[in-house]
Amino acid sequence: MASSADASHKAAMRQALELAKKSPPKPTNFRVGALLKRLDDGHVSAEGYTLELPGNTHAEECCLLKLAEEHSTIEEGLDAVMTSPHALYTTVEPCFKRLSGKLPCVERILRQKSWIKKVYVGVLEPETFVGKNPGRQLLEEGGVEVEYVAGFEEEILAVAAAGHTSS
């Protein structure tokens, strides 16, 4: 029998997957959904999906930018205003490298490790764009726990790769 914690993680991943479906399909990125949830009471503090905001934005980046705006600060200032520990749920493992030159999501999360304590992922990042992603290892070495939420892999990958051309 699944624990209530398992059910809660699956519900959050399902919510992140629904967000990913809002992302426009493009051949140059994965459609990803993410949300930040307070660990003490489960409150969802922010949601985001790939390309939700202008500027080639990733889902995790959108969560942080929206949360920063809500707290009248910049992304770099979130660690000063966020006092409750949170978990980040993301359908695809956070990126460690951006071909656009923007700050990778792994680095964004590590900048916020004072309050982002756990990252739950649905699948490892496919090697399509930047090869093998050491994101999980980098996060764990930086003090952020990473756990997988099983059961959504096939659906997450289908949503993530929508718009990609097959060769």
99 lies in a domain?
Answer: yes
pLDDT tens digits, one per residue of 80-128: 999 999 999 999 999 988 877 889 999 999 999 999 999 999 988 766 6
pTM for the whole thing? Answer: 0.92
Residue 166 resides in a domain: no
- Dmax (CA) for the chain in angstroms is 47
Is position 61 annotated as part of the catalytic site?
A: no
Distances from the Cα of 25 to the Cα of 32, 49, 126, angstroms: 10, 12, 16
Choosing from 47, 52, 60, 61, the catalytic residue is: 60
Asked whether residue 42 is domain-assigned, the answer is yes
What's the total number of domains in the chain? Answer: 1
* 83 occurs within a structural domain: yes
Look at residue 128 in the predicted model and tell me its pLDDT.
65
Point out the least confidently predicted range of 66-80, 102-116, 149-163. Answer: 149-163
Report pLDDT for 1: 42
Report residue 129's pLDDT band, with 50, 70 and 90 as the boundaries.
low
Residue 72 lies in a domain: yes
Helix (H, G, I), strand (E, B) or coil at 10: helix
Q: Which domain holds residue 42?
A: 4-160
165 is a domain residue: no
Asked if residue 167 belongs to a domain, the reply is: no
Task: Check which CATH number belongs to the domain holding 68 and give it.
Answer: 3.40.140.10
pLDDT digits (tens, 9 = 90+) for 22-70: 999 988 888 999 999 999 999 999 999 999 999 889 999 999 999 999 9
Are 99 and 131 in contact by the 8 Å Cβ rule? The answer is no
Quick one: pLDDT at residue 167? 46
Residue 166, pLDDT score:
60
